[in-house]
Structure 1
Amino acid sequence: FWQREEAESRRAASVEAPDIRAYLSAPSETLRVAPLALAHPVEMVQTLEVLLPSDWPDEHSKEVVEDPHFRFVREVDSQGSHLLITDRYTSLADHVPADAVPAYAEKLEEARGKLGYQLYQYDDAIAQTPVTATSMPPAVLFFSALVLVICSWLAVWVYRYDPAPDPRPADPRLTGIGGWLVLPLLGLLLQPIVTLVTMATNLDAYSEPLWSSLTVVGGSAYDSWWIWALLFDLASSLALLILVPLLLVLFLKRRSSVPHLYISLLLWILASNLISLWATGQIEGFALDVRKELQADAVRSVFSTLIWASYFVVSVRVRSTFTRRRGESAAMIDSPPSLPTATTA
């Protein structure tokens, strides 16, 4: 719905219902020797209702385009977060004389120019209207709470997951977080920050009235796929916020479960990116620039998964480092066994 305009530091949205445009189409030829037949009598009223994400400047306007052969009226009524646009076309004759067709075509063009409506949301205005939990619909809050409960239960299972270390030969000289293994550690440190920034950017989509306009039948930007795309993105982000910090703790503890869990994380991120790309592809009129970003994310996930999953499978450093079992201390694993002392009789 909203398109980013970086040069103007704003987001723009174009609102138009195209049905009435058919009655305002210009004739293919304006220089005629025969009259132009018109459908008559015709009266069409088109009402477009928009629920805006925040209060908008009040506007009450009426524009009229009148010709001996038709009358077009546009009324705009904006109050608070509610915008109502009413277009009315009324035919006044069943034909246009040949010599009046050029003037008739000019009036049609004038009326067509009044179709459509532009909305602008500037960055400073967006910053002044933060989304809070109270502006979110109860269904979104309930869904978020349910996801958090499920992820918390899953986190307990992940922490208790305690497979045996890789049985292949290890190299004591490569024990410890170093070399290429530092890069996955940095990724785990940065992932929660990236997730929080992404959630903050998309938060207004989960607030009223924008949520209703996207997900409720009859909304100004309704598409049945919006609710699935938004809820999946929310669930994926909440899961990352809970499980990635836990994996970071296990990583620093050098638990034997880390290789399996890290590969699972890579596969989950890849799957979520592909699902988001597919789901948004079902939404008619989805922003092209955002879709390109999702495509780039999916491609990066494919390469990242191939590279780092392979690394965690074949790396000697990985199998030499992640050897600790749950409940075992670092001293128990890393300290050499004490030699028995000799006693004399």
Structure 2
Amino acid sequence: MRQIFALAAIVLNGYFAVAEKDVSVDKPSNWVSRVEFDDSIVPGSSNSYQYLLIQQEDHLPKETKFRRFVYKILNADGVQSMSDISVSFDPTYQKLVFHELNLIREGVSHSKLSKEVIKIFQRETSMDRSLYDGSLTAVINLEDVRENDIIDYSYSLIGFNPINGGHFSANYYQQFSVPVNTVRTKVINDPSKFIQFKLFNAAESPRRTNVSGMDEYSWTVNAKDYLLVDNNIPTWYDPHRRVSFSTFKSWEEVVAWALPLYQYPESEVQQIEFPLSSGASEEVRIASLIQKVQDEVRYLGFESGIGAYKPHNPAKVYEQRFGDCKDKSLLLVALLRKIDVVANPMLVNTAVGHKLGDELPGFSLFDHCVVSFSHNGEDYFVDPTISNQGGNIGLISFPNYEFGLEIKKGSSALREVATKNLPTIKINEVISVESIGGGAAMHVRTEYTGSRADYIRSYFASNSFENIKKEYLNYYSSLYPHITSSGDVKFYDYDRLSKNKIIVEEFYEIEKFWVDSDDKEYILCEAYPLVLESYLNYPKAANHEMPYYLGQPYSYIQDTQIDLPEDWSGEGETINLGNEAFDFSKTTQIKGRTVSVSFRYDLKKSFISGDSVNGFLQKIESVKTEMPQYLTYNENLAASASKVSWVSSFLAVVSLFLGVFFAVRTYKIYDPEPWEFAEDKPIGGWLILPAIGLTLTPIRLVIDLLSNDQLSAGMWDGIILLTDGGVKSLPVLVFVGAELVYNYMFFVFSILIIVLFYQRRTSVPRLVTIFYALALIVPIVDALITDELIPGVLSETDRNATIKEAVRAGVAALIWIPYFNIAERVKSTFCKKRIKQ
């Protein structure tokens, strides 16, 4: 082992020795402008330093980039963060030349530059993504830096990547997230070589001049009006002023540049042997090849110099079993072509998304490579760098890169590559409660599809089952502190090459499922979509003006079933919330001993505009408020619920007595004269419809009276508990008593109307008018009084039910009240008197 380390040290020492030859100190070239800087400080800026000058001048024929930075240290934090000068370069094609390094104190400039102060390090900034670019960093540690010092340094990078083929593309900013007193920019180009530029966000246009036979594009701007971006913006959003340059005329030229890079010796690919079933369909063979490249060729890249753009030979990548995105993509393309599938590499940008088409054509826009292929006339896309994916070729998840450039002959424009498959999470919880106030057993079954399934598959592949079991348990302990595992976490992945569906099962015991209320008057338990909560933790955004990122759209479904040891009383309800970005619903159903709660959440958009953020976040808070589902249990109330209330019984008897009394009186006394032209017609025609409705009314009323436990003593105790038993409870009790009296009397009234209706008595039209008017007015008045006496007691479901009932009763009243008072058929049918004259 020591010999290996010694060998590595020798190699590195030699590498750095070579690299040091590529770092020198010299004067800047004569084409570089000498620019004075303004040392004033922007008032109100809270930064620990301030840029006074940013100078960037690029000479394309000389393949040289000149950079100069001047900044002032404003406090101790600035001393800490800005006392080191660092410049990165690629020694395979670049040389670094430092020109000046001056520390200006109280107007006096002190040179701090010498070859000896330059240290060289290799820092792989992308190691976390298994990418090694081979770049080096030259570092100068400044000594004795103090507050109010000005640091002025400049350097040149000489040499462009030879893979560019003489092409160039770059962005130059005229605005930053910190104030900059002056930005000086210049691009020098050979007049015989094509170059174009594009302005973004009202950037200032460059001034074109000809100097010493060269075209110069230059501008000097004041960039003190810095722009701070809002939090949580999409990656594609860049509001700063900038100018983009490119020597490419079109995307077709970019394709022509890239095509030679993606050529490979086909004869070597033919020797690659991937075991594929000869009897398998083409679709299965394609899916198998994709999976093998994704999982068996690890993602690892050495991207220095030419390797930053040119992929390696597919045969070599297959043999070494590793490669970067370009290598893995070209390998998959080669293998697919081997089985006669049309496939091509595709360049994408993982951040710019749908804004890619706004940019000038150029190779530097792309930071990733994927694969496009065709099967049975359909186009498909796959990212070979994503491991542990599943699904047939139509269900393989593809990140929402939105647009890409296909590297094939004839390709001349960007292609849309939007995601097709919406990931889903479906959770089924069954909570079996042992006893009221005791523990419970919980079984959780979660089904993942799409990219969510890919993530879970990767999570289980990279973690032990013991770790997963512990993490899952800790996750649920935030909701149920007394939870323990009662079985191993089970993982099912039997549809990987078809539906890409993963099922995870969990088993728990909750020792203390019920908890005391704050006032100790009752106990309660809770059902809650814990997983959904983690998806809804959006950052706060006060006065947000820029687009706001929501995440990639998905569908979430959770069904929680609570099995109780005794019948549960209560009413179900449905709550719906949402806007342009999402839909949420919560439905509660109570049937006997089972309480079921269903949660649905669909994220429909990945971002929203800035003026929609406040409304969105308010809606999300409303969703969070509605997510908990509590079951409350009061022992005293439960005991009284099984007893018959003498008050209810008394009111019921009195109501029925009064109802029958007035019904008999009405039957005998109210006997108006018939229409003089009455033809004594039988019940028929349109009258069949109200006849059916009136006949069913008493049955419906009896069901309502029995289901609402209006004779139970628990109803009155519940009202007293709901109103805190204070003075406020008296009007509520009186109101509920009046409701009870009305319900029983209306029941008797409905029977009276049925009797008179089928006897075709002359009193029917007027009594039916009263019936439909009461059916419309009473529920509305009841809801208004209830809301006034006990604000907030009516749920969204109650309000919706009242509205539906009022609409239904209103339609009936509008139709039948005029009909029973005007129609000749009615007058000719209801023409009988009790006492014939």
- Category of TM-score, reference length = shorter chain: 0.5 to 0.7
Q: 1:219 to 1:123 in 2, by over 3 A?
A: farther
1:125 — aligned with what?
A: 593
CA-CA distance at 1:224 after TM superposition: 5.9
From 739, 742, 762, the counterpart of 1:256? 762
> Contact conserved, 2:659 with 2:749, CA < 8 A, in 1?
yes
Cα displacement string for residues 77-108 of structure 1 (whole angstroms, at most 9, x for unaligned residues): 69xxx7369xxxxxxxxxxxxxxxxxxxxxxx
> Contact conserved, 1:254 with 1:321, CA < 8 A, in 2?
yes
From 170, 176, 201, the counterpart of 2:707? 201
Distance in structure 2 (CA, Å) of the matches to 1:131 and 1:191: 33
CA-CA distance at 1:326 after TM superposition: 0.8
From 522, 544, 566, the counterpart of 1:83? 522
Say whether residues 1:156 and 2:156 are aligned partners.
no
From 262, 265, 288, the counterpart of 2:771? 265
Distance in structure 2 (CA, Å) of the matches to 1:141 and 1:261: 28
Code of the residue aligned with 2:720 in structure 1: it is T
2:678 — aligned with what?
A: 170
CA-CA distance at 1:322 after TM superposition: 1.1
Cα displacement string for residues 161-210 of structure 1 (whole angstroms, at most 9, x for unaligned residues): 343334353345xx11000111111111100111122222322x652334
From 168, 191, 212, the counterpart of 2:717? 212
Cα displacement string for residues 98-119 of structure 1 (whole angstroms, at most 9, x for unaligned residues): xxxxxxxxxxxxxxxxxxxx99
Cα displacement string for residues 26-62 of structure 1 (whole angstroms, at most 9, x for unaligned residues): xxxxxxxxxxxxxxxxxxxxxxxxxxxxxx72459xx
SS where residue 197 of structure 1 aligns? helix
1:181 — aligned with what?
A: 687
Distance in structure 2 (CA, Å) of the matches to 1:146 and 1:215: 23
Code of the residue aligned with 1:215 in structure 2: it is I
Identity %: 25
> Contact conserved, 2:719 with 2:732, CA < 8 A, in 1?
yes
Code of the residue aligned with 1:284 in structure 2: it is P
2:796 — aligned with what?
A: 288
> Contact conserved, 1:214 with 1:226, CA < 8 A, in 2?
yes
Q: 1:153 to 1:165 in 2, by over 3 A?
A: same
> Contact conserved, 2:643 with 2:712, CA < 8 A, in 1?
yes
Say whether residues 1:299 and 2:807 are aligned partners.
yes
Distance in structure 2 (CA, Å) of the matches to 1:225 and 1:138: 19
Q: 1:291 to 1:227 in 2, by over 3 A?
A: farther
Q: 1:138 to 1:325 in 2, by over 3 A?
A: same
CA-CA distance at 1:137 after TM superposition: 2.5
> Contact conserved, 1:269 with 1:301, CA < 8 A, in 2?
yes
1:279 — aligned with what?
A: 785
RMSD, matched Cα: 3.8
CA-CA distance at 1:228 after TM superposition: 4.6
CA-CA distance at 1:223 after TM superposition: 5.8
Code of the residue aligned with 1:198 in structure 2: it is D
> Contact conserved, 2:762 with 2:831, CA < 8 A, in 1?
yes
1:237 — aligned with what?
A: 743
SS where residue 592 of structure 2 aligns? helix
Could you say which structure has the greater relative contact order, defined with CA pairs below 8 angstroms and 6 or more residues apart? 1
* Alignment size in residue pairs: 222
Say whether residues 1:141 and 2:649 are aligned partners.
yes
Q: 1:237 to 1:326 in 2, by over 3 A?
A: same
SS where residue 163 of structure 1 aligns? coil
> Contact conserved, 1:163 with 1:257, CA < 8 A, in 2?
yes
CA-CA distance at 1:76 after TM superposition: 4.9
Code of the residue aligned with 1:186 in structure 2: it is I
What TM-score, normalized by structure 2, do the two folds share? 0.24
SS where residue 593 of structure 2 aligns? helix
> Contact conserved, 1:263 with 1:309, CA < 8 A, in 2?
yes
> Contact conserved, 1:148 with 1:239, CA < 8 A, in 2?
yes
SS where residue 284 of structure 1 aligns? coil
Q: 1:133 to 1:179 in 2, by over 3 A?
A: farther
Q: 1:248 to 1:290 in 2, by over 3 A?
A: same
Mean CA deviation greater in 137-146 or 148-157: 137-146
> Contact conserved, 2:674 with 2:833, CA < 8 A, in 1?
no
CA-CA distance at 1:252 after TM superposition: 1.0
Say whether residues 1:324 and 2:832 are aligned partners.
yes
Distance in structure 2 (CA, Å) of the matches to 1:313 and 1:293: 30
> Contact conserved, 1:214 with 1:227, CA < 8 A, in 2?
yes
Q: 1:147 to 1:126 in 2, by over 3 A?
A: farther
2:584 — aligned with what?
A: none
Code of the residue aligned with 2:522 in structure 1: it is L
From 436, 449, 472, the counterpart of 1:57? 436
CA-CA distance at 1:281 after TM superposition: 2.1
> Contact conserved, 1:247 with 1:258, CA < 8 A, in 2?
yes
Code of the residue aligned with 2:768 in structure 1: it is Y
Distance in structure 1 (CA, Å) of the matches to 2:684 and 2:824: 12
The structure where helix makes up a greater share of residues is: 1
What TM-score, normalized by structure 1, do the two folds share? 0.55
Distance in structure 2 (CA, Å) of the matches to 1:179 and 1:131: 53
Unaligned runs of 5+ in 2: 1-434, 440-480, 483-513, 525-561, 569-589, 596-637
The structure where strand makes up a greater share of residues is: 2
CA-CA distance at 1:150 after TM superposition: 1.3
Code of the residue aligned with 1:310 in structure 2: it is P
Q: 1:126 to 1:213 in 2, by over 3 A?
A: farther
Unaligned runs of 5+ in 1: 1-55, 65-74, 86-117, 333-345
